[in-house]
Amino acid sequence: MSAAVPSPALALRRAAVLAVAVGLASPSQAAADTPPGTAVVAPDRAPCRVFEGGRVHLPEGPREGVTVVVDGARIAAVGEAIPGLSPPDRGAGTVTFRGRACGWEDARGRELTPGLVDAAAPLGLVEVAMEGDTDDTDPGGDPVRASFRVWDAYDPRSTPVPVARAAGLTGAMVAPSGGLVSGQSAWVSLGGATQETAVVKGPAAVHASLAALPSRAEAIGRLRELLEDARAFDRDRAAWSRNQSRPFAAERLDLEALVRVVRGEIPLVVAADGAADVEAAVRLAREQGVRLVVAGGAEAWLVADLLREAGVPVIVDPLRYGPGSFDQLRARRDNAALLHRAGVAVAISTFSGYNARTLPQVAGNAVREGLPHAAALAAVTEVPARVFGVPDRGRIAPGAVADLVVWSGDPFELDTAVVRVLVGGREVSTRSRQTALLEAYREVPGAAAPREAGATAP
């Protein structure tokens, strides 16, 4: 199908948008081989590195004075006294581990956490929010698009990706939007320079929304029909191929995607805020025997006991509270804290591509409202990894993938800075378009120099 030719006015508008989005990175950007922040994890073996003496956030909680050894792409050892580790040569910044020379870093006064993960974000899928050609989250058309694989559009060079990385994010669950069944999401590593190296797991889940149809009851009914059809399709594909089965409510590729849900291989993520909608989604999941994850859950605290009994995790935005819509009239600031206290697995998301960089601040707001600090950190590291079937990430433990962040202090405090980011054991750049703009326009030619403290005005 040939693309439509835009009008001259539309072409000029798109050119202007592109100039703003791409051309302002720095005055010399056009001559650069790659934009800031795109030089990331190389495919070869990552080096051996040792972080010693910092405050390390382990699965069981934070501990002071812990040493972490990274060997290749994974964590080799964690502890206070590690066999095979020699005293460091502080002058050379090296240490010997099991006969190998490794880089050594004094982490005293620093905090070391797993890399943060946004549990439901269109990161790398939207470049300019108001320019439809750069938004790959919603294909439109048929409300059932379970076969839509959003990671086929993931752009590791997208502007917000290095910005998020500089804020301490090393991964994201990139999710589709729109429709009754939005499509399939994927876990991506923010260190991957290509789709092949970035996509860790795809599909990781199938996403649906109860608000896509005029009636929530209709949405539940359609989802029930789709899941039952997928189960029937999987049970006798030969009959379908011979055109000897009853008509199904979805196309073959959509049924193929939903088969993984009814088999329990991946969860069904249902976007629902109202307590009644959450309750209906839980009842549907129990009836159909599928793994459910609730996304949004603004009023989920009202049915926290039900969620705990059903073992349903909830992805929340702690800043979503108050009557923003009729689905969240009873939303509370301490939603995450109440869910955690009830025994519900809580993950935290910004639900945003551009604002994924604010994930530490968003999690910090949950701590302010009563969520324990360790639970908030788990909500942006270990819980998403466990929920979406990537158990070797989100933890500082031997054998885990070395996605690590060194912070100057508490990662949820606004005045804390990211010191170092490792993805798969390799340090990645924290440069982005934001740093390039700062460097380019920190000093504007012809502008008056700032006065020193104490100087009087002329």
Provide the CATH number for the domain around residue 207.
3.20.20.140
349 within a domain of the structure (yes/no): yes
7 within a domain of the structure (yes/no): no
Structure confidence at residue 274 (pLDDT) = 95
**458 to each of 411, 437, 443, how far by Cα in Å?**
43, 31, 21
Report whether 50 contacts 85 (CB < 8 A). yes
- Examine the domain organization and report whether 332 and 408 are in the same domain: no
- Examine the domain organization and report whether 195 and 333 are in the same domain: yes
- Examine the domain organization and report whether 67 and 124 are in the same domain: no
Report whether 238 contacts 133 (CB < 8 A). no
- Examine the domain organization and report whether 244 and 332 are in the same domain: yes
Report whether 180 contacts 222 (CB < 8 A). yes
- Examine the domain organization and report whether 360 and 290 are in the same domain: yes
Structure confidence at residue 247 (pLDDT) = 86
- Examine the domain organization and report whether 42 and 126 are in the same domain: no
Relative orientation angle of helices 275-288 and 216-235, to the nearest 10 degrees: 20
- Examine the domain organization and report whether 259 and 403 are in the same domain: no
- Examine the domain organization and report whether 161 and 173 are in the same domain: yes
Of 374, 393, 412, the domain-final residue: 393
With vertex at residue 238, the alpha carbon angle to CA 236 and CA 244, rounded to the nearest 5 degrees, is 85
276 within a domain of the structure (yes/no): yes
315 within a domain of the structure (yes/no): yes
- Examine the domain organization and report whether 290 and 376 are in the same domain: yes
| Residue 249, C-beta contacts closer than 8 angstroms, at least 6 positions apart | 144, 222, 225, 226, 229
171 within a domain of the structure (yes/no): yes
Structure confidence at residue 458 (pLDDT) = 53
13 within a domain of the structure (yes/no): no
Closest among 77, 173, 72 to 423, alpha carbons compared: 72
Structure confidence at residue 19 (pLDDT) = 39
The CATH number of the domain holding residue 48 is: 2.30.40.10
Tens place of pLDDT for every residue, the chain, 458 residues?
334 434 333 343 343 334 334 333 333 333 333 344 444 444 344 589 999 999 999 999 999 999 999 999 999 999 988 888 989 888 889 999 988 899 999 999 999 999 999 999 999 998 887 777 788 888 888 999 999 999 999 999 999 999 999 999 999 999 999 999 999 999 999 999 999 999 999 999 999 999 999 999 999 999 999 999 999 999 998 888 888 788 888 899 999 999 999 999 999 999 999 999 999 999 999 999 999 999 999 999 999 999 999 999 999 999 988 778 888 889 999 999 999 999 999 999 999 988 999 999 999 999 999 999 999 999 999 999 999 999 999 999 999 999 999 999 999 999 999 999 999 999 999 998 888 888 888 877 776 766 666 656 55
Q: What is the side-by-side order of every strand in the sheet holding 268-272?
A: 116-121, 169-174, 181-189, 199-209, 268-272, 292-296, 314-316, 346-348
- Examine the domain organization and report whether 48 and 123 are in the same domain: no
Token digits of residue 300: 């989920």
- Examine the domain organization and report whether 222 and 137 are in the same domain: yes
| Residue 436, C-beta contacts closer than 8 angstroms, at least 6 positions apart | 25, 26, 29, 35, 36
| Cα–Cα distance measured from residue 366 to residue 314, given in angstroms and rounded to the nearest whole number | 14
3-state secondary structure of 14: helix
Number of domains present in the structure of the chain: 2
Token digits of residue 104: 């050594």
Of 339, 358, 393, the domain-final residue: 393
The domain of 409 spans 35-115+394-439
120 within a domain of the structure (yes/no): yes
308 within a domain of the structure (yes/no): yes
Report whether 120 contacts 177 (CB < 8 A). no
Structure confidence at residue 420 (pLDDT) = 95
- Examine the domain organization and report whether 245 and 369 are in the same domain: yes
Report whether 49 contacts 103 (CB < 8 A). yes
Structure confidence at residue 238 (pLDDT) = 84
